[in-house]
Amino acid sequence: MKVLVATEKPFASTAINGIRKEIESAGHELVLLEKYTDVQQLLDAVKDADAMIVRSDKVTPAVLDAAKQLKIVVRAGAGYDSIDTAYAKTKGVVVENTPGQNSNAVAELVFGLLVYAVRNFFNGKSGTELMGKKLGILAFGNVGRNVARVAKGFGMDVYAYDAFCPANVIEEAGVHAVANQEELFKTCDVVSLHIPATPETKESINYALVNQMKKGGILVNTARKEVINEPELLKLLADRDDLKFVTDIKPDADEAFSKFEGRYFSTPKKMGAQTAEANNNAGIAAARQINAFFKDGSTKFQVNK
């Protein structure tokens, strides 16, 4: 089988070596399309691919139509909103992600952003500590659980809400489960977003919700920019000069947010999963999932069932 790795932003070479080892030892052929600049390059490369590994690359109906032999696409990462999963399903193409492989990387970045925020973006003025503060985790998935683990090391009091994870699972992890997201914002000094971008969550982080936060509240977004209602959050930051917003996902309105000097920070590029470990783990997991699919039809991580 021909396995195409199509990445606008390539994997690190150690990850590629690991992917190659997995794919070739299973008797398949590995083809690389890295740093492509034109979608036509992807349309050409995908023509005879049986499987494809992508990162944040867009897998559109045009790509799926061009991929006449494609049976499986694996997104090396957690979020798969860059793939038209419904259209893939109509073409009989299995779409998978590699859940959990970059969760620790994202969780550690949350605390990098948080320490930076409570220490006033290192402006030399006295800040506050995280110990004893209430941290709210919105969505207790792979990243949310890692955030909870690290937060305990900081001595934070941890709360979580997840629309689909039962309260007893949250409580068993030593985290307070709250009944809904409003209560999470009302209760916590810091709220960290870990919801996927779905029709229900898009623009759900709005004025009314974030305005529930106590004085000095901090909002951290390492989920997706689409979950934020940007015009409403901008208005709230203008109305309340006690709130801070830090993110590794630059909002569309970055320039407008940047006016809130000392209360807003975005990393220049999405950085949550940008570690050697996450890169390696996700790439190798993707290769192993493709091998398992061709070996015995395994679709354990399918997201378009």
* Residue ranges in 201-220 that form contacts with ligand NAD under rule CB under 6 A: 201
Asked if residue 273 binds ligand NAD (CB under 6 A), the reply is yes
Among the listed residues 18, 217, 251, 272, the single contact to ligand NAD using CB under 6 A: 272
Binding mask 75-114 for ligand NAD (x = CB under 6 A): --xxx-------------------x--xx--x--------
Residue nearest to ligand NAD (CB): 141
Q: Which residues contact 131 (CB under 8 A, 6 or more apart)?
A: 154, 155, 156
Confirm if 237 and 213 have CB atoms less than 8 A apart.
no
CA atoms within 13 Å, Cβ hemisphere of 164: 5
Among the listed residues 224, 244, 263, 288, the single contact to ligand NAD using CB under 6 A: 224
Cα separation of 250 and 266, whole Å? 6
CB closer to ligand NAD out of 6 and 143: 143
- What is the CB neighbour count within 10 angstroms for residue 140? 24
CA atoms within 13 Å, Cβ hemisphere of 14: 8
Which listed range, 14-22, 24-32, 163-171, 182-190, lies at the site for ligand NAD (CB under 6 A)?
163-171
What angle do helix axes 103-118 and 276-296 make, rounded to 10 degrees? 160
Confirm if 284 and 15 have CB atoms less than 8 A apart.
yes
| Tokens at 213, concatenated | 């936060």
Shortest CB 69 distance to ligand NAD, Å: 29
Asked if residue 163 binds ligand NAD (CB under 6 A), the reply is yes
Asked if residue 270 binds ligand NAD (CB under 6 A), the reply is yes
Residues lying near ligand NAD in the complex (CB under 6 A): 77-79, 99, 102-103, 106, 139-144, 162-165, 194-198, 200-201, 222-224, 248-249, 270, 272-273
